[in-house]
Amino acid sequence: MDSNDILHTFLQTYLSDDALSVTFLPAILSGLSSCDVENSTHLSKWVNRVNSLIHSKDAGIRWAGLCLALKTSQLARSVLLSSGQAWVAAVIPLLSKADNPVTYKAAIRLLTYIFTTTTDLSEFQRQVVTPNVPKFSNALISLTEKFADLGLKIYCMDVLSVLVQKFSTLHRPLAPQLSSLSLSFLNGSPASPTPKQLTKSACRLHACLHNTGGKVGGSALWRKSMDETIDFCNEALNALRSDPSNSSQYADDPMVFTNVNLDRLNCGVELLCCLLCTSVSRPVLVPVKSLVSLCTELMNAAASKEISNDIDPSFTALAVGTHVYLLEMACRLTSVLSACVGKRLGPEHSKILSILAFNLERTLPTRLKIPLVRLLPALLGPCFHPADPLVAGRIIKSLLPTLARTFSQKSPAESPSSQVKGNKKAKRRVQGYEGDEVFKTGSEVIFSSPEEGELILHTVDALPYLLRTADLPEYLQSLTSRLLLSLLVVLPTVSASSVSNDLTLHGKILSRVKDITLELCSASGSILSKSLPVVVTAIGSEIDNRPQARKSIVHERLIVDLMLHPRLPPLLRPLPRLNEIALTSKEEGEEEKKTREAIGLTDVHASSTREMLVTNSSANTELEIDSQATAAGRAVDKPSHATVMDQAPPSDSGIHLPFTAPTQRPQEQPKIQVEEPNIEGIKAHSMEVEMRAGDLKGPLESQTHQMPHSDAKDPSKLGTLAEEISTVKTFKTPPAHDSMVVDDDDDDGDIVIPPLSMASDSDSDE
């Protein structure tokens, strides 16, 4: 079939009858093309047939004609110019007649396309657009007010927002009607919250009404709308804090009173966000102080625990239930404000960060922590970094427990064979069958809920911005770097099913950790040369389509270019040197140790020693020994059942990472039952050890004093010498591996953080 006859074919077959035009409309729309319409000799017949369908009395046939007219206008601009005026005159009256929402949407779509795509044709604008746009807007206002269809309301207000921005002068007489229309949907709903899409459409419409004031009066109208909205939000927030009995409208129903004011506050915050994101013809003065005050009031209201005895307890419970929504509103408004004003946030930036640090240090549910942590990248990205490193340090300390939870190893569920059934007289053990583990549905994972997975993702996203803070304490940089490097090595060895029920969470966490480690390694070429395996591992990650992943790919290319061309200047951001990062528990300082213990990280060296079971074949009686005495080396003869972690093979970076899942530990540390030791044998053994230590102490000290200056700065050689000295001095205590355990106060297991120990030639020889 010749392509020039496609219109003739459709006219003879699909459009020969009105009912067939509705039935075969999808086939007609998919079969048309631009060349078929413009080069056809039957174009005039086609246009006449479309006009006859538009003027039909049947709603379905009118809908088919409107769809064909829109498709023809999109394919042939000549048809739009020749038939556009006739179609506008025929379609606008349809909006004032009773019809179904589908036909209304098709008519609105056709008129919007005709009015907005002919702005470059001055004569068409003068003859067709200018006289008919106000009529079209009046019809849309009437449809929005009369019909209850939610989709039609949203679509009409979206079209009005576009028309007001395109033809602002023509809508100046309609500004009061448009303002009252948009505000009618933003006054709160007592029955149920206003639908989210309806709220956004009404806010977008109200936020663009300042364009009707022109270039001179538009700025004043925008500022007036901003001030009125801030007052509206403060009024709704004060109502939520007050007693509902003082209200004149909802005094008898506290639930309706709370729902209405919460919905009003939500609509007001959404309107403020739209006003901040809208475009203004001339510069305006943004009320930053008033907006920040509103944000802080929302955060303080969400964090408030004061309960007055004069207020009804039912209303108090309703007010407590609104804390989550208040915190989400505050974080959303703060995020938009920081993106709008950027570095002009000024001194209010430190105030917001202090409030965030205070809230993150509190014991909050996961749902309340998510908006706070999500706000950090939006607040630190476009603005200055925290001026006070103490505030950034407080935030990092509050985020480290969430990051360390990734190392948690859940203990497997108890097998059916170990379960006991029956009464006290006759207890029978449940018989276990082969393959029962396939039918177990109670497998435990590290992040059991979607909120926990979302929290760890936002935590990893926020850490790079916090680590860029100038003058951040070195012990925090060290502890954070150890956790991130351990995650980089441990996560590939952990299955995705053990991390979360969402199998994609494992890959998301790993990709973000790789991005952070790449940034930590990109300070200068000297650090990159020592971190080559980390860079190679991170660059070899899978390619993702996320915006963050695309940014990381660009960052990886820059790092590779920096490694190939080391003469490039280093970044202005100072990063800790390699010898400042404590890679093992022996190298960590006192402040880092206190911080690690304060956030719940403990050293497994002492805990594993306390839990050792020591036996002696010459004694038969049992003796209770305190765990601290056991750790100090009292009454220790020969370990037989010590729990020792297997050493992992050295990685390419020369770093040893011992990691293993901990066994199930009891809730309380019991006293250890050991057999009575041979006292005389212990004394003889202790004297022999002291003699050996005295013989080796002199050569080791002389070797330390004679060490050159270059070797003293080498952390690997210092670590080797320290290990030799500690081996001699602590020979009485059975050696245990350096590792950290996070006690998460749960019965499901502990969190193991593998420390990093520098590998040297002496270690490999041993």
Using one digit for the tens of pLDDT, what is the confidence trace for 470-498?
888 888 888 888 888 888 888 888 888 88
What pLDDT, on the 0 to 100 scale, is given for residue 685?
Answer: 55
Percent of the chain with pLDDT over 90: 32
The predicted-structure confidence for 540-580, as pLDDT tens digits, reads as follows 555 454 555 555 566 667 667 766 765 545 554 455 554 44
Q: How confident is the model at residue 233 (pLDDT cuts 50, 70, 90)?
A: very high
Residue 713 near residue 755 (C-beta atoms within 8 A): no
pLDDT at 281 over 50: yes
Residue pLDDT, tens place only, 243-276 = 776 666 666 677 888 889 999 999 999 999 999 9
Which H/E stretch holds residue 445? Answer: none
Residue of 363, 361, 458, 445 whose CA lies nearest to 403: 458
Instruction: Walk me through the domains of the chain, giving residue ranges and CATH numbers.
Output: 1-167 (1.25.10), 607-710+725-753 (no CATH)
User: Which of 670 and 179 is assigned the larger pLDDT?
Assistant: 179
pLDDT at 367 over 80: yes
DSSP for 66-114, please give it. HHHHHHHHHH-HHHHHHHHHHHHHHHGGGGGS---HHHHHHHHHHHHHH
* pLDDT tens-digit series, residues 60-94: 999 999 999 999 999 999 999 999 999 999 999 99
Closest listed residue to residue 612, CA positions, set 743, 726, 753, 736: 736
Q: What integer pLDDT is reported at residue 686 of this predicted model?
A: 56
pLDDT confidence of residue 282: 86
Using left for φ > 0, alpha for ψ between -120 and 50, and beta otherwise, residue 342 falls in left
CA distance 236 to 260: 9
Residue 130 to residue 335: CA distance in whole angstroms: 40
pTM for this structure?
0.72
**How far is residue 208's CA from residue 298's CA, in Å, rounded to a whole number?**
26
The neighbouring-strand residues paired with 639 are 614
Type of residue at 402: T
| Encoded tokens for 730 | 């602590």
Amino acid 573 reads: R
* In 94-246, alpha helices (H): 101-116, 122-124, 130-146, 150-166, 175-184, 196-207, 214-241
Is residue 422 over pLDDT 80?
Answer: no
- pLDDT at 287 > cutoff 90: yes
Of 484, 482, 534, 480, nearest to 509 by C-alpha is 484
Averaged pLDDT for residues 286-292: 93
The predicted structure's pLDDT at residue 713: 41
pLDDT per position as a tens digit, 312-338: 667 777 777 888 899 999 999 999 999
**Average predicted confidence (pLDDT) for the chain:** 73
Q: Decide which of 134 and 258 is more confident.
A: 134
Q: Residue 55 has which token pair?
A: 């003027």
Q: pLDDT at position 179, please?
A: 95
Q: What is the pLDDT of residue 290?
A: 94
pLDDT of residue 64: 94
- 681-709, pLDDT tens digit by residue? 555 555 665 555 555 444 444 444 444 44
pLDDT by residue (tens digit) across 425-474? 444 554 555 655 555 554 578 888 889 999 999 999 999 899 888 888 88
